[in-house]
Structure 1
Amino acid sequence: MNATVVSATGGPEVLEYTEVPEPSPAPGEVVVDLAAAGVNFIDVYHRKGRYPLTVPFVLGSEGAGTVSAVGADVTEFAVGDKVAWANVLGSYAEKVVVPATQLLPVPDGVDLHTAAAAPLQGMTAHYLTHSVHKVEPGQDVLVHAAAGGMGLLLVQVCKMLGARVIGTVSTEEKEKLARQAGADEVLRYEGFAEAVLELTGAGVHVVYDGVGATTFAGSLQALRTRGMMALYGAASGPVPPVDPMALHDAGSLFLTRPTLRHYTATREELLWRAGDVFGWIASGKLSIVVSERYPLAEARRAHEDLEARRTTGKLLLVP
């Protein structure tokens, strides 16, 4: 079978589409024939070595497909089942080995490409809005990169929960997408903190910031007293060290750097979040925007487009 392998960390040029041995499941594991793999910024961090992994490794952490083999002790899944997953390394491959404890059943009414695009960002949107900061009706929320795959989901979920959503984007085209997703106000990045304060008077209750270095200081400025800064990513680069007194001076702010695996720590929590996300999709409450589908062999081009911010919505790799 073929897979995208990283033998040395670096830029998109290190991605090598090559033949690798076909896997077989160990006890507790399942082999899935890939329908599509999601492309995420965590894949970029793995490729660059920002989140170090032992090389060589097959890239990718999210996907969906059909079960083709099950290992001993697997009772929840059978050959032919439609499944999805997130946080499973090795997903840029024609066949993916997934621990059964990490597999998500895909319900009727959700196609496999949508299922591949939903778990990582969908469950991230779920824990950010239900657990990191419980969004409530009437709250003001700031979502950075509101037209990206993650941002579009956050906008929709926050609106579903009754918040007023302010989004930031870089272009007029992206503004249209953010507004279509439900954003009440859409700003450009330059001067966004001042604009947020003018719109809200007191600042927002929570900032969902996956951009990082270029937005962090303004995000703190845009918060109201005792507001929550949820820094869930660093697309523009890592944030420099923070003096805790800066949180004191800005209004006794809260700062967290969460990650999905800590909010899906048990099977029950994983299935709760995924069940809600797939249920919203099946009922039409949540729309997954897949903006580009690349051949699995063209992961390099997908990474180049993602890092250059040439994309909106979700990117998929398809065998």
Structure 2
Amino acid sequence: MNALQFAKTGDLAALHYLNVPKPTPAQGEVLIQVKAAGLNPSDVKNVLGRFPYTTLPRIPGRDFAGIVVEGPQALIGQEVWGTGKEPGFFRDGSHAEYLTLPAKGVALKPKALSFAQAASLGVPFTTAWDALERSLVTADTRLLVIGANGAVGSAALALAKIRDAHVLGAVRRPEHVKALNDQGFNAIQLDTPEDLAASVNAVFTGGADVIFDTTGFWLPAAVTALAPFGRIAIIAAPADGHVHLPALALYRKGGSVVGINSLLYGTEACAGMLDQFGRFFDEGLLPLPTGLFESPLSEGLARYEEVNKGSGNKVVLLP
């Protein structure tokens, strides 16, 4: 089968498009014919060596959608999707024509989603779902999403709307504010950290109950915009991993910081999340993904380079 594979890390030149043996599923596993596979920034960082626990040689790729061709009889022929911490890191991933996974590590794909659409959602939506769950976003929660125009941020807005939370998006550019307004969301434009609290209080008097910072740069300012007993969820940090946290202000508000890491969840746990929110696509409660950049797997090396350079396209590789 054709696949992307790397045998060393540190440089994207280590990634090659090769013909490798088709995998054989073990007992309790399924063989999936991959119809589409998402390309996430973490896949690129994996080849660059940012995840020292990755075992080599390795086929990268976390997110996928495809058809089960071998495994338990009840699953053969089923259209499935999935993601998790193992593919691309501890076992071969989805940037290939075929993929093996535990049978419990796949979820039935929503019928409303095409293979490409489903493959684009795994990491962003499970990350957003986990952030909302663990920061206790429920009906009437006042939620601020910083970086609301990104893949994870926009997923958080959509999922929080279903929970009947009061949602506010924060973005850098005026055209992004307009785009969120056109989608029916309140939005503010990010300026300086010192201005964040005033901007948030103009919408949420007394501050936001939950602030989800998807950028890694607004944690100190988020403390000033937080309501009493509020929660700040984070999924990123500055390059050196450190930030100056105003601890006095945080504990005086009774606030807490919640770290969100999608790589803590295996495929089985992620399949459970996909089952929980996947039905919302079929029920018409979640918008279908648009603007995907679909690319042949054979051109995957170029797509990796583009994502590494900061391309904002949501890339889906088609084997």
TM tier, smaller: 0.7 to 0.9
Which residue of structure 1 lines up, in the alignment, with residue 155 of structure 2?
Answer: 153
Alpha-carbon contact 1:30-1:98 (below 8 Å) kept = yes
Which residue of structure 2 lines up, in the alignment, with residue 317 of structure 1?
Answer: 317
Q: Does 1:77 align with 2:78?
A: no
Shift of the 33–189 alpha-carbon distance from structure 1 to 2, 3 Å rule, reads farther
Larger RCO (CA under 8 A, 6+ residues apart): 2
Alpha-carbon contact 2:6-2:47 (below 8 Å) kept = yes
Alpha-carbon contact 1:123-1:277 (below 8 Å) kept = no
Shift of the 271–44 alpha-carbon distance from structure 1 to 2, 3 Å rule, reads closer
Equivalences for 1:236-315 in 2 at 5 Å?
A: 237=239, 239-240=241-242, 245-246=247-248, 248-249=250-251, 251-260=253-262, 262=264, 270=270, 272-291=272-291, 292-311=293-312, 314-315=314-315
Q: Secondary structure at the match of 2:36?
A: strand
- After TM superposition, the score normalised by the length of structure 2 is 0.85
Alpha-carbon contact 1:64-1:112 (below 8 Å) kept = yes
Equivalences for 1:1-319 in 2 at 5 Å?
A: 1-52=1-52, 53-70=54-71, 74=72, 76-78=74-76, 80-87=77-84, 88-89=87-88, 90-129=93-132, 131-188=133-190, 190-191=192-193, 193-194=196-197, 195-212=199-216, 214-234=217-237, 237=239, 239-240=241-242, 245-246=247-248, 248-249=250-251, 251-260=253-262, 262=264, 270=270, 272-291=272-291, 292-311=293-312, 314-319=314-319
Alpha-carbon contact 1:290-1:316 (below 8 Å) kept = no
Kindly tell me the number of residue pairs found equivalent between the two proteins: 309
Q: Which amino acid aligns with 1:63?
A: F
Shift of the 152–304 alpha-carbon distance from structure 1 to 2, 3 Å rule, reads farther
- 2 CA distance for matches of 1:248 and 1:169? 23
- 1 CA distance for matches of 2:176 and 2:13? 28
Alpha-carbon contact 1:169-1:189 (below 8 Å) kept = no
Q: CA RMSD in A?
A: 2.7
Structure 2's unaligned 5+ residue stretches are none
Shift of the 44–77 alpha-carbon distance from structure 1 to 2, 3 Å rule, reads same
Structure 1's unaligned 5+ residue stretches are none
- 1:173 is displaced (CA, Å) by 4.0
Shift of the 242–137 alpha-carbon distance from structure 1 to 2, 3 Å rule, reads same
- 1:293 is displaced (CA, Å) by 1.5
Residues 95-117 of structure 1: CA deviation (Å, up to 9, x unaligned)? 11111120111243332222222
